Amino acid sequence: MRALIQRVSCGRVSVEERPLAEIGLGLVILLGISPDDGEEQVDYLTHKIANLRIFEDDQGKINRSVLDVDGEALVISQFTLYADTRKGRRPSFTRAAKPEVADPLVNAFAEKLSSEGVPTKTGQFGAHMLVEIHNDGPVTIWMER
C-alpha cells in the first residue's frame, strides 16, 4: 500500500464536472493498492497518517497532527502510484491491485481513518476525477507499507 500525503489548505474532487467531495484544512491522500495488501496495511497506515505531525504549532514548528488541528482528509484511489517505468516509455501497472481487490481496501482505509477521528471523504473509485489540491507548504510525504 502506498500513500502520497499532501498537507492542504483545501482539496476538492469532481467527476464529470460534478463536485463530489471537498475538504478544508487537512490532508489529500492519494492511495495506491497492491495485490498483496490487506487489513494489516490499512491499520498501520491509517494510524500512522492520523498521528503524523506535519502541521505547524503556535511557534511555527511542524509538530501537530491532522487530529490536533481538527483537519479533514480526502482519500483518492490512484493505481498509478504503482507505475513501473523501468522499461520503455509506457508505464506498466501490473503491480497495482485489480479493482475487485483495491476498491474494498480503499473503502476500508477511508472508514478506518474516520474511526481514528479524522473526518474523511473520498473520490469515486474507477472514475476519471479532477482533483484540486491546494498543497500548503508545500508538504508532501510518501508512505508505504
Could you give the residue numbers annotated as active site? 78-80
Beta pairing, strands 72-77 & 120-122:
parallel
